[in-house]
Amino acid sequence: MKLLKLLYCYWWALLPLAACAQGPPPPAVLLVPAAVFDGQDLHPGWAVLVEGNKIVAAGPAAQVMAPAGARTLALPGLTLLPGLIEGHSHLLLHPYNEASWDDQVLQEPLALRVARATVHARRTLLAGFTTARDLGTEGAGYADVGLKQAIDEGIVPGPRLLVATRALVATGSYGPRLGAVDELPRGAQEADGVDGIVRAVREQIGHGADVVKVYADYRWGPGGTATPTFSLEELTLIVQTARSAGRGVVAHASTAEGMRRAALAGVETIEHGDGGTPEVFRLMKQRGVALCPTVAATDAIAQYKGWQKGPEPAPERVLAKRRAVRAAVQAGVTLVVGGDVGVFPHGDNARELELLVQDCGLAPLQVLRAATAGNAQVFHLADRGRIAPGLLADLVAVAGDPTQHVEALRQVQLVMKGGVPYKQP
């Protein structure tokens, strides 16, 4: 049995997408890149020693001593960084220019959606994103919990996941639009009032939610405008119920009032934030609420609606997003890096970082810090996000220097998760 397992692991190790979570720990590996970005700064001439699934040493190459039998992996011309952390994905969705959200929720069988999700997970990992916060299955129930388990057990390659399961919406506010139809599958779990909300939060946590996602507003206003959904009291109850079980709450909100209520209720992050005013961003700063602007999703949707990217001015929604990011940064709000991947292709996660630099005026270094150490801190992941002894050996190497040119993140040459290489030069 043991031999079989070993053979199984060895066989897979021969494949370029080696994936074996079980089995013997890999021998110590000394990684010698041109430079190391440790989550904070760039250090030319550093080396990193990995043993088992952990980083055991990082520093100037001459000072990092490899034990006897360690393998040296030279990575000339490459920058080694902590595995990137995707802040907002939907592995159970695929791009809306392939199939509308309604069609995915109403017509695609669950098995099809899960099969796709396994491919999405692999693409995410190979793009250098070794952790993802997946914010809702959009009608696929608790499939994210099973997907996470399959990844953790080494059945399919993918990032470490934080999952939100079904997400919470106020009755009537979310899609698919009911219209005259009495019963349609819902894209998230409807819950209202004290009893309904407490029960729904606990159900989701019981099924495996790592975070609770709530829609604080949605496009259910007159003419399809976004308006608030839950009351401040309801949102506060969601946060209290989740927090008592050790879970944080993330809120979808794009209106100033939805954002205000979510921030006052004590959510940890606000997703989108398009309509944030200087007052709301000041409130978020005061209450320690981070913003995940999802610039890439807005950009992608504008293109699906016919915007030929390039000539300015961009459509108003794109401009509003850029203004919101700038206002949030000016107010000192912490930025979470997450693109709402799924709206655009999984594996194209770097698009969010590129747009934060190219369209929103952030420095590459600022964006890289946010996508590694920053996201880890906001998501309470003390075991990753930086390159330092004792942390998980989730490492990525890219050609060039991404702290100067964010586009270098497209040139992923090495992906290691927990010391196991999934891609290497």
**Closest distance to Zn ion from the beta carbon of 96 (Å):** 12
Q: C-beta of 3: minimal distance to Zn ion in Å?
A: 45
* Residue 31 neighbours by CB under 8 Å, 6+ apart: 47, 48, 49, 50, 73, 75, 80, 395, 397
Query: How wide is the angle at C-alpha 171 spanned by C-alphas 166 and 177, nearest 5°?
Result: 85
Q: How far apart (Å, rounded) are the C-alpha atoms in residues 251 and 291?
A: 10
C-alpha 158/C-alpha 150 separation (Å) is 9
Cis before 60 (ω within 30)? no
- For Zn ion, give the closer residue by CB, 51 or 271: 271
* Choice between 32 and 121, CB closer to Zn ion: 121
Q: At closest approach, how far in Å is the CB of 195 from Zn ion? A: 27
The distance of closest approach from Cβ of residue 179 to Zn ion in the complex, given in angstroms and rounded to an integer, is 23
Q: According to the 3-state scheme, what is the secondary structure of 77-121?
A: EEEEEECEEEEEECCCCCCCCCCCHHHHHHHCCHHHHHHHHHHHH
Show the tokens assigned to 347.
């594996």
> What minimum distance in Å lies between the beta carbon of 342 and Zn ion?
7
Minimum distance, C-beta of residue 80 to Zn ion, in the bound complex (Å): 30
- Per-residue tokens: 422: 């999934």
Residues at the interface with Zn ion (CB under 5 A): 340
50 vs 267, beta carbon nearer Zn ion: 267
* Of the candidates 137, 132, 136, the residue with the CA atom closest to the CA atom of residue 160: 132
Q: Closest Cα partner for 367 from 85, 122, 9, 117?
A: 85
Q: What count of residues does the chain have? A: 425
CB closer to Zn ion, 46 vs 218: 218
Q: Given the complex with Zn ion, which of 137 and 241 has the nearer CB atom?
A: 137
364 in Cβ contact with 372 (< 8 Å): no
Q: Which is nearer to Zn ion, 51 or 340 (CB)?
A: 340
Residue with the shortest CB distance to Zn ion: 340
- Among 236, 237, 294, CA closest to 260: 236
| Shortest Å distance, C-beta 330 to Zn ion | 25
Closer residue to Zn ion, CB minimum distance, 271 or 359: 271
